[in-house]
Amino acid sequence: MAGVAAIVGVNLGDTSVLPVIQIGLVAVCYAVGPVILQRWLTGVPALGVIAASLAVTALVYVPIAAFSVPEEVPSAEALGSVVGLAVVCTAVAFLVFFALIAEIGPVRATVITYVNPAVAAVLGVAILDESFTIGMGIGLVLVLAGSVLATRSRAPSEPEPPLDPVYSGPAVR
């Protein structure tokens, strides 16, 4: 988390407490969500879980959107961007994320949520001519190091010796 904060930069100048709490809640949900998926929703079709989660999110946002209707219709380019983000960056990304959770497990799969801001920062520098800062460099190193540590294979544990069917006392090594 510190790596992501370093990449993005932290400026709490005029920030109220509510947005900070909301960001913390999102971070907790990113950490807990894959575990919930793996533990309680393993047999449920991924597409159904994705559809239900997006529908619930849409319902939660209806009251918020109702009070922030734009005065004019957004441009076709803006609407196309929103549709593209919804399809590629949400729907397809969810499908890939669920497949990743099934393949490598929930803990290792969440590493992508930390790599994502690093990729965005690199693309911002490369494509949008954003400036590369020392904080971004430190953050990239922290994110990459944390990702390597979180996804490394553990040493195989030593197998238990087989039990002697004649002797039922404690195993001696």
Kindly report, residue by residue over 106-152, the tens digit of the pLDDT.
778 878 777 877 888 888 889 988 888 888 888 888 888 888 887 77
pTM: 0.57
Structure tokens at 110: 């969440």
Going by C-beta distance under 8 Å and a sequence separation of 6 or more, which residues neighbour residue 27?
1
Structure tokens at 172: 């001696």
H-assigned helices in the chain: 2-8, 17-40, 46-66, 76-84, 93-104, 106-109, 112-128, 134-151
pLDDT of 13 over the 70 cut: no
Q: What are phi and psi of 42, to 5 degrees?
A: -60, -45
